[in-house]
Chains A and B, each alone.
Chain A
Amino acid sequence: MANNKFSSGLMLSLRQLRRSPLMIVVHLSVLFLVILWTFPTAGLLISSFRDKDQLAVSGWWQSLSSSEQNIIGRTSAPDQQVLLDGKYVLSGTIEGFALQDTILRFGWTSKQPEAYQVNTIASMKNAGTLTVSSDGQYTMTSLVPFTGSRGKRVFYTQLTSPKFTLDNYVEVLNSEGIGQSFINSLTVTIPATIIPILIAAFAAYALSWMRLPGRGLLIALVVGLLVVPLQMSLIPLLQLYNTIGSYFGVSAKTYFGIWLAHTGFGLPLAIYLLRNYIAGLPKEIIESARVDGANDFEIFVKIILPLSFPALASFAIFQFLWVWNDLLVATVFLGNGEHELVLTGRLRELLGSRGGNWEILTASAFVSIAVPLTVFFTLQRYLVRGLLSGSVK
């Protein structure tokens, strides 16, 4: 009885703890951390949809507010002029002006690009006048005819309303080669994800349930190979590929080569993950199948493979993310050609050649991370499970 009272008192204090001001601190600090972790990506995503002129002059957090911009437009060409009351007149909408914007100030020389408020009359050379209204309409007059083939330059400051567009995506997908690289990345990733799974599954079964001399040693080998840095393999394999390539008279950098390389590099994790799972399956299932006269091949194909689906999915996600996001292996084992350069390689190239063009970089980067993010958010469950069983503990 006393014990009961005591534990209900404990429950009460825990419940109070949940409502206490301390919990508000917890909520706020988690909120702060979430903001800290998501803002960089959010900035990239928002920026990729912004108009490139706005992106270059204001931060993405200001993307919803209007900004002032200095722009140079033109009047219509002199052949549009009409003679009115002894004056030559050109009028219309300033070329290049977007109707949703508002003009604040204007000017007619580059030295004083915003000398006049809208709707005031600016006097120019030869007793000419220029007036611009906020909706982009202008009237320019002169006592002498306008000459030349092009219109006169008009300088103005406008209040630009926020502009969101898909133009950046259209541009990177077509003219910056991101579209082609997307296909190249898929070409590398799909086979490089599927091929190791089968090989690893058979090996994992052998290492879990088959009688085999030196099994412990082989498992230790796999665990050891888990951490061997990729850097160790690069030069020897590059040499090997070069030798084989020149022997058969083909290029050393082929899709076939990179598929096999990713298979090799992914195998230790694949075997380790799958072995952890398969070794944990109930012994009775396998033994009763053995009693029924099934050999190991039948047991594996008919029982183990279907049961291991969660582990297979975990590894598939890992390998997919790793291959899609890889830059090192792709740079060393695959060429730079238009039909070979993968997304990560293309991003690296763009960082060099279009380093200041954030509209290109943000849109390209988002195209490359869209696929892994989709995989991540839809299949997170398997990824977490894989992480938990895949780290050596």
Chain B
Amino acid sequence: MEQLFYSLLVMLLGVLSCVFYFVGSNWLLLLIYPVKHVSNVKMAQNIRRAAAIRPWLFLGPALFFLILYLVYPVFDSVYLSLHGRNGEEFVGLANYEWLFQDNEFLESLTNNILWLLIVPALSTFFGLIIAALTDRIRWGDFAKSLIFMPMAISFIGASIIWKFVYDYRAEGSDQIGLLNALVEYFGGTPQAWITLPFWNDIFLMVILIWIQTGFAMVILSAALRGIPEETVEAAVLDGANGFQIFFKILIPQIWTSIAVVWTTITILVLKVFDIVLAMTNGQWDTQVLANMMFDWMFRGGGDFGRGAAIAVIIMIAVIPVMIWNVRQANAQMEGR
């Protein structure tokens, strides 16, 4: 409790120091370039000068944080990946050479590619189906809100929820995991699902799909609603059936939204870490890059060179999406 009080106090201090910075710097600016009680020429000049400086005062703290916490680390990670475990001796590409003949890394890479193929595709697919279906029924908003709910749950919380679903009891005793109970009900043999190589990857992916479908649904539902009704009506008049309307009229019009959903989930998949850590910690052939990187940060006292090299690989995978995003944003701004 005392600690909470302390944090509220710090929060207040933080907010106050932000306010102090912005108010104080503005006051200082007006002190240096006064606009009152000076000649008109001087005033115009001062206003212009102050207006040239003020944006940088506004941007200052944000730029400081962005550069220190995101820009500088990108370059430092590349630098570290070319150095030994403490970041001191230069080793050239040795860390990368090591990576590409390390079995765990190759396994992570394969698994990551599987994740990248399956999770965005299925999340988008389910999101689209649910968005299209719920748009036509009265309790659709309620249904959407329930399917959207897992978005609020932490990966680790979701892992516990699903570990309970996958729980396995030896044959003969009652299964308390939903999946094995269903399998048994339909006459199958219960399995310890998360120890079953290959299929366990799929069972871990289910968790992320379960979380991300809500996101896809929200974006795509808004996109579907934005479609002008005339296009659908025209198709109905021309005698198109439901499937034709969906695939030939609706889908092409929301194509950019689908791309947005797909790329956003792709980025998330590359960073997925908590789920694997909580469910298997990379055992039974489920390792992924982000978890392996985390592992190397601390394994045996930590190998920063190898850890950074894995991070760089993740970064390289992200770059195409980054470029696509920047181009989209630029195009959007020119339209304004």
A residues sitting closer than 8 Å to B (CB atoms) are: 10, 13-14, 18, 22-23, 26-27, 29-31, 33-34, 37-41, 43-44, 47, 55-61, 183-184, 186-188, 190-191, 194-196, 198-200, 202-203, 205-207, 210-212, 216, 218-239, 255-256, 259-261, 263-265, 267-268, 271, 279, 295-297, 300, 321, 324-328, 331-332, 339, 344, 347-348, 351, 358, 361-362, 364-365, 368-369, 372-373, 375-377, 380, 383-384, 387-388, 391-393
Which residue in A60, A184, A200, A230 is a CB contact (below 8 Å) of B62?
Answer: A200
> Roughly how many angstroms separate A14 CA and B233 CA in the complex, as a whole number?
10
Chain B interface residue count, Cβ-Cβ cutoff 8 angstroms: 122
The reply to whether A380 and B145 contact each other, CB–CB distance below 8 Å, is yes
The reply to whether A212 and B71 contact each other, CB–CB distance below 8 Å, is no
The reply to whether B218 and A384 contact each other, CB–CB distance below 8 Å, is yes
Which residue in B80, B150, B270 is a CB contact (below 8 Å) of A235?
Answer: B80
In the assembled complex, 20 residue pairs joining A and B whose CB atoms fall closer than 8 Å, in A order, are: A23-B136, A30-B143, A37-B213, A39-B178, A187-B7, A206-B58, A224-B326, A234-B297, A236-B80, A268-B66, A351-B159, A358-B167, A365-B157, A365-B160, A368-B157, A369-B157, A373-B153, A391-B260, A392-B264, A392-B325
The reply to whether A37 and B150 contact each other, CB–CB distance below 8 Å, is yes
In the assembled complex, how far is the CB of residue B166 from the closest CB belonging to chain A, in whole angstroms? 10
- In the complex formed, the residue of A with least CB distance to B307 is A235
With A43-B164, A59-B178, A235-B304 as given contacts, are A205 and B3 in contact (CB-CB < 8 Å)?
no
Is B283 on the interface with A (CB-CB < 8 A)? no
- In the complex formed, the residue of B with least CB distance to A362 is B164
With A59-B174, A224-B322, A391-B260 as given contacts, are A368 and B154 in contact (CB-CB < 8 Å)?
yes
Is B69 on the interface with A (CB-CB < 8 A)? yes
Given A228-B322, A391-B261; 8 other pairs, CB 8 A cutoff: A26-B136, A43-B165, A220-B329, A223-B326, A236-B73, A239-B87, A328-B273, A393-B328
The reply to whether B164 and A198 contact each other, CB–CB distance below 8 Å, is no
> Roughly how many angstroms separate A387 CA and B150 CA in the complex, as a whole number?
15
- In the complex formed, the residue of A with least CB distance to B7 is A187
> Roughly how many angstroms separate A375 CA and B153 CA in the complex, as a whole number?
11
Give the 10 A-B CB pairs with smallest separation, nearest first.
A264-B69, A325-B154, A203-B62, A376-B152, A236-B76, A206-B58, A236-B73, A187-B7, A233-B73, A191-B11
> Roughly how many angstroms separate A216 CA and B80 CA in the complex, as a whole number?
31
> Roughly how many angstroms separate A108 CA and B336 CA in the complex, as a whole number?
85
Contact with A along B74-92 (1 / 0, CB 8 A): 1011001000000100000
With A40-B161, A202-B58, A229-B271 as given contacts, are A297 and B73 in contact (CB-CB < 8 Å)?
no
The reply to whether A30 and B134 contact each other, CB–CB distance below 8 Å, is yes
The reply to whether A199 and B65 contact each other, CB–CB distance below 8 Å, is yes
B residues sitting closer than 8 Å to A (CB atoms) are: 1, 3-4, 6-8, 10-11, 14-15, 18-19, 22, 26, 47, 50-52, 54-56, 58-59, 61-63, 65-66, 68-74, 76-77, 80, 87, 126, 129-130, 133-134, 136-137, 140, 143, 145-157, 159-165, 167, 173-178, 181, 210, 213, 215, 218-219, 222, 233, 236-237, 242, 256-257, 260-261, 263-264, 267, 270-271, 273-274, 277-278, 290, 293-294, 297, 304, 307-308, 310-312, 314-315, 318, 321-322, 325-326, 328-330, 332-333, 336
> Roughly how many angstroms separate A362 CA and B269 CA in the complex, as a whole number?
26
A391 contacts which chain B residues (CB < 8 A)? 219, 260-261, 264
A34 contacts which chain B residues (CB < 8 A)? 143, 146-147
- In the complex formed, the residue of A with least CB distance to B215 is A387
Interface of B is mostly: helix
The reply to whether A239 and B133 contact each other, CB–CB distance below 8 Å, is no
The reply to whether A224 and B134 contact each other, CB–CB distance below 8 Å, is no
Which residue in A223, A264, A377 is a CB contact (below 8 Å) of B329?
Answer: A223
B47 contacts which chain A residues (CB < 8 A)? 295
- In the complex formed, the residue of B with least CB distance to A231 is B311
B126 contacts which chain A residues (CB < 8 A)? 33
The reply to whether A376 and B149 contact each other, CB–CB distance below 8 Å, is yes
- In the complex formed, the residue of B with least CB distance to A390 is B264
B26 contacts which chain A residues (CB < 8 A)? 295, 297
B72 contacts which chain A residues (CB < 8 A)? 236
The reply to whether A59 and B322 contact each other, CB–CB distance below 8 Å, is no
B63 contacts which chain A residues (CB < 8 A)? 203
> Roughly how many angstroms separate A351 CA and B163 CA in the complex, as a whole number?
10
> Roughly how many angstroms separate A63 CA and B329 CA in the complex, as a whole number?
52
The reply to whether B70 and A227 contact each other, CB–CB distance below 8 Å, is no
B129 contacts which chain A residues (CB < 8 A)? 33
With A328-B274, A380-B145, A388-B219 as given contacts, are A55 and B154 in contact (CB-CB < 8 Å)?
no
With A198-B19, A223-B329, A393-B332 as given contacts, are A327 and B215 in contact (CB-CB < 8 Å)?
no
> Roughly how many angstroms separate A30 CA and B129 CA in the complex, as a whole number?
9
Which residue in A29, A188, A219, A221 is a CB contact (below 8 Å) of B333?
Answer: A219
Which residue in A59, A226, A239 is a CB contact (below 8 Å) of B181?
Answer: A59
In the assembled complex, how far is the CB of residue B156 from the closest CB belonging to chain A, in whole angstroms? 5
The reply to whether B62 and A235 contact each other, CB–CB distance below 8 Å, is no
With A59-B175, A191-B10 as given contacts, are A40 and B210 in contact (CB-CB < 8 Å)?
yes
The reply to whether A295 and B143 contact each other, CB–CB distance below 8 Å, is no
> Roughly how many angstroms separate A325 CA and B333 CA in the complex, as a whole number?
33
Quick one: which of A44, A55, A261, A368 has the most chain B CB within 10 A?
Answer: A44
- In the complex formed, the residue of A with least CB distance to B267 is A227
A43 contacts which chain B residues (CB < 8 A)? 161, 164-165, 178
Quick one: which of A55, A184, A224, A256 has the most chain B CB within 10 A?
Answer: A224
> Roughly how many angstroms separate A361 CA and B160 CA in the complex, as a whole number?
7
B56 contacts which chain A residues (CB < 8 A)? 212
> Roughly how many angstroms separate A218 CA and B58 CA in the complex, as a whole number?
13
With A264-B65, A388-B219 as given contacts, are A361 and B164 in contact (CB-CB < 8 Å)?
yes
A236 contacts which chain B residues (CB < 8 A)? 72-73, 76-77, 80
- In the complex formed, the residue of B with least CB distance to A265 is B69
The reply to whether B333 and A297 contact each other, CB–CB distance below 8 Å, is no
B59 contacts which chain A residues (CB < 8 A)? 202-203, 206-207, 212, 218
The reply to whether A10 and B315 contact each other, CB–CB distance below 8 Å, is no
> Roughly how many angstroms separate A331 CA and B236 CA in the complex, as a whole number?
56
In the assembled complex, how far is the CB of residue A177 from the closest CB belonging to chain B, in whole angstroms? 14
The reply to whether B160 and A231 contact each other, CB–CB distance below 8 Å, is no
The reply to whether A58 and B174 contact each other, CB–CB distance below 8 Å, is yes
